C-alpha cells in the first residue's frame, strides 16, 4: 500500500511520517554507512505462532492486538475514504474479520472504511507473516495487507521501508501484487521490487498471503507458491532498511491514485475484505 505520493524527493524525505501519521520525523540519516552483506543461513521459522488472531470471537477487533489509523487525509495517495474505528467498518463475526468500505458521507468524504494496525501491540523484526483472506470485489477498491516500520529509525517514507504482503486494485481483477519499497527502490522512481500473480477467485475464495523475512531476504508466497524475492545487497539502509521493527496493517482503501485510476463503481458498496486469520511465526536464530 504505497504510503505517500509527493511531488519532490526533498519534500518526501522531510514530511514522510509527519504528513500521514502525525509523527514528527527524526533527523534524517544519510545512506552513507555500509552494512555487511549477510549469508543465507537457511533460516527456518517456529511451527507455533508468536502472535496471532484467529478471530474466534464477536464484535470489534481485539483491542489487545489491534488499533486503528483514523481520518480522511487522503493518506498520501488521494484516497477517498474516511477511516473509522466503527464496528460498521471493522467487525469480527463467524470466525472472520470483516473490513468493510461503505458509501457513506463522513467529514467531507463520500466513503468510510477501516485500517486496523498492530502497532504497539504486535511489532516484529524478522519472521513469517501469513494471512488468509478473501478480497473485496469492485472497481475502485484497493485492499492491502502490509507492513510499516514502527520506529521510523531511518526517517520518513520511503527511507524506513514498506513491505506489501498483498495488494489488489479492483479494476484489475484477480491480479495480486507483492512489493517492497525503500529509498533506493520505490514506485515514485520506478525501481520498486515487486511481483504479481493472477489467481482464480480472489473474491469468492480464501487465499493465503505470506512473507518470510530474514536478514538475508524478503520472500513472498501466495498459497505457498513462491512469487517474490528481494535479497539484501549489503549496501546501505537506502537499499535495505529492513533491520528494524515493523507492524501489520489491514485496510480497504477507496479510489486513490492507483485504486481509483479507472474510476469507482458506487454500485459495489458495501464491500468487504474478509480475513480468516493472521499468524506471525518467529524466525529461529542461527
Share of the chain above pLDDT 90, in %: 86
Q: Please, are residues 69 and 249 in contact by the beta-carbon 8 Å criterion?
A: yes
Given a cut of 60, is residue 11 above it in pLDDT? no
Domain boundaries, the chain: 9-281
Catalytic annotation present for 28: no
The arithmetic mean of pLDDT across residues 121-141, rounded, is 98
pLDDT of residue 215: 97
Catalytic residue, chosen from 79, 104, 130, 162, is 162
Catalytic annotation present for 58: no
Question: CATH classification of 9-281 is 2.60.120.200, yes or no?
Answer: yes
pLDDT of residue 3: 56
pLDDT of residue 21: 36
Cell of 36: 555487511
Given a cut of 60, is residue 213 above it in pLDDT? yes
Helices (H) and strands (E) in the chain, counts: 1, 18
Helix (H) or strand (E) run with residue 197 in it: strand 193-198
pLDDT of residue 8: 30
pLDDT of residue 15: 32
Chain position carrying cell 555487511: 36
Cell of 138: 469492485
Catalytic residue, chosen from 79, 130, 167, 274, is 167
Instruction: State the Cα–Cα distance between residues 208 and 226, nearest whole angstrom.
Output: 12
**Out of 13-22, 56-65, 167-176, least confident range:** 13-22
Instruction: Give 250-273 pLDDT, tens digit per residue.
Output: 999 999 999 999 999 999 999 999
Amino acid at each position: 500500500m504505497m504510503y505517500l505520493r509527493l511531488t519532490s524527493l526533498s519534500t518526501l524525505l522531510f514530511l514522510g511520517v509527519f504528513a500521514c501519521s502525525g509523527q514528527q520525523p527524526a533527523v534524517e540519516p544519510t545512506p552513507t554507512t555500509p552494512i555487511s552483506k549477510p549469508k543465507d543461513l537457511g533460516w527456518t521459522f517456529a511451527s507455533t505462532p508468536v502472535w496471532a488472531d484467529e478471530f474466534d470471537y464477536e464484535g470489534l477487533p481485539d483491542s489487545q492486538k489491534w488499533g486503528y489509523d483514523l481520518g480522511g487525509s487522503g493518506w498520501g495517495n488521494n484516497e477517498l475514504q474516511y477511516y473509522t474505528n466503527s464496528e460498521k467498518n471493522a467487525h469480527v463475526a463467524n470466525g472472520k474479520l470483516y473490513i468493510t468500505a461503505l458509501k457513506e458521507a463522513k467529514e467531507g468524504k463520500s466513503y468510510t472504511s477501516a485500517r486496523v494496525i498492530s502497532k504497539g501491540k504486535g511489532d516484529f523484526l524478522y519472521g513469517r507473516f501469513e494471512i488468509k483472506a478473501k478480497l473485496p470485489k469492485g472497481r475502485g477498491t484497493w485492499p492491502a495487507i502490509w507492513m510499516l516500520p514502527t520506529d521510523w529509525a531511518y526517517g520518513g517514507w520511503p527511507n524506513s521501508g514498506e513491505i506489501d504482503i498483498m495488494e489488489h486494485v479492483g479494476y484489475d481483477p484477480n491480479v495480486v501484487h507483492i512489493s517492497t519499497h525503500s529509498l533506493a527502490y520505490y514506485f515514485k522512481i520506478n525501481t520498486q521490487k515487486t511481483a504479481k500473480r493472477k489467481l482464480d477467485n480472489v473474491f469468492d475464495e480464501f487465499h493465503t498471503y505470506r512473507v518470510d523475512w530474514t536478514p538475508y531476504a524478503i520472500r513472498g508466497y501466495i498459497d505457498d507458491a513462491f512469487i517474490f524475492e528481494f535479497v539484501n545487497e549489503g549496501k546501505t539502509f537506502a537499499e535495505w532498511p529492513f533491520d528494524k521493527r515493523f507492524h501489520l496493517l489491514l485496510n480497504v482503501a477507496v479510489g486513490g491514485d492507483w485504486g481509483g485510476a479507472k474510476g469507482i463503481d458506487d454500485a459495489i458498496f458495501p464491500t468487504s475484505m474478509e480475513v480468516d486469520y493472521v499468524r506471525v511465526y518467529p524466525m529461529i536464530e542461527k
